[in-house]
Amino acid sequence: MGNRAGDGFSAVSGGDAASPDGDGPSRRGSGARPGAGSGPSLKARAVAYLSRREHSRQELRRKLSAWCDDPAAIEAVLDELAREHWQSDQRYAQAYAHRAAARQGAQRILGALRQQGLADDELAGLRDSLRATEADRARAVWQRKFGQPPADPREYARQYRFMAGRGFSADCIRRLLDR
């Protein structure tokens, strides 16, 4: 896996490697450092983050603050992205819940979304839909992990703890294990 002659890349890593066009040190691997004045604009960085996956407003604010010390500029970019429908906390919540629903209960999903800065009133519809499907999702998680009802109180407690750790409600877990 050595370098081929003439491919324009040096085997030496770091800033001393020649650039592919031979015009001096390569920028490859050095990356723009946070706080540097050059590089993409805040909006371009935010759009790049959003092109990979949905982000909450709070999450984008935190990531952009590594590149800019002006909170007003960051808020202006976030407002513009929301106005243009490129960033939506509601869409982020739906995407997150969709990814996590097969493995986690409503309490854990909603708690994670609250930590991302989403308010309870924004989560009301999502909360209802998660709770409506929680018994089926809990049964699927339990079936993959255990598959058999608990044989004794110790096993019951172990299965209960596992399901509670996944964020399923106590009532849902009891109904599942006591059947």
User: Domain for residue 58, yes or no?
Assistant: yes
Q: What's the pTM?
A: 0.72
Residue 56 belongs to some domain of the structure: yes
Decide if pLDDT at 128 tops 70.
yes
Window from 16-20, 41-45, 64-68, 147-151 with minimum mean pLDDT: 16-20
Question: Is there a domain that residue 125 lies in?
Answer: no
Q: Is the pLDDT of residue 50 over 70?
A: yes
pLDDT-derived band at 176 (thresholds 50, 70, 90) equals very high
**Residue 179: its pLDDT value, please?**
80
Residue 39 is predicted with a pLDDT of 74
The dihedral built from the CA positions of residue 161, 163, 164 and 169, taken in this order, carries a sign that is negative
Burial of 144 (0-12, 13-18, 19+ CB in 10 A): exposed
- 82 in a domain, yes or no? yes
Q: Is residue 45 part of a domain?
A: yes
The region of weakest confidence among 17-21, 78-82, 138-142 is 17-21
What CATH number did the domain enclosing 66 receive? 1.10.10.10
What ranges in the chain are assigned the alpha helix state H?
Answer: 42-52, 57-65, 71-83, 89-100, 106-115, 124-145, 153-165, 170-177
Count: domains in the chain:
1
Boundaries of domain holding 74: 41-87
